[in-house]
Amino acid sequence: MPNWSEGTLRVKGKPEDLKRFIQGVFDDVEIDQDEVLIPKWSHMHDTVRGFCTDGDSIFLDEDTKVISFQYAQAWYVVAEELAKLCKRYHVDMRIYAFERGMCFNQDIEIINGKITRDEKIKFNSTDYDWECICPNIGG
């Protein structure tokens, strides 16, 4: 069983690109007017074990420019996989993810399909609970 790197994935783009993104990367998405429901633990296509974990309900209308949902990926978040999705759907992404079991955080940003930040923040295991801003997430 893997450790999970978890955080809030934020996706930015035009409303029509955000809708295409959601419909393209998740199965069984329910759309009711301006509300989109992503089922709990929905696999994000073209990622290795990346999931929307909470079954999020997202409001998406012509004014929406950013959506967010809880995301988890086995072992660590793979920025290159997310960058490919960003290019395909013309969206940008950001995530700050926590991995309690292996004592690290990740800070990732992808703009215009290019990885602008992919930083791994390592902690000493004895200091993780004190130094990490959210030590109970992930793992």
CATH number for the domain that contains residue 76: 3.30.70.1270
Is 10 inside any structural domain?
yes
Domain membership of residue 105 (yes or no) is yes
Q: What does the pLDDT read at residue 32?
A: 83
pLDDT number for residue 84: 98
In a domain, residue 79? The reply is: yes
- Do the domain assignments include residue 48? yes
Provide the β-strand partners of residue 6: 72, 98
Would residue 85 count as lying in a domain?
Answer: yes
Is 8 a member of any domain? yes
> What pLDDT sits at residue 13?
97
pLDDT confidence of residue 62: 87
In a domain, 46, yes or no: yes
- Give the residue from 34, 85, 91, 89 showing the smallest Cα distance to 63: 34
For position 101, what pLDDT does the model report?
A: 92
Residues in the chain with pLDDT values less than 50? none
At 139 the pLDDT is 85
Residue 65's pLDDT is 95
Strands (E) located in 13-65: 30-32, 35-37, 42-43, 50-52, 57-59
Residue-level pLDDT at 2: 80
Answer whether residue 139 is part of any domain.
no
Domain count, the chain: 1
Closest Cα partner for 33 from 61, 67, 63? 61
The pTM of the full predicted model, rounded to 2 decimals, is 0.93
In the chain, pLDDT over 70 holds for what percent of residues?
Answer: 99
Residue numbers of the domain that contains 111: 4-131
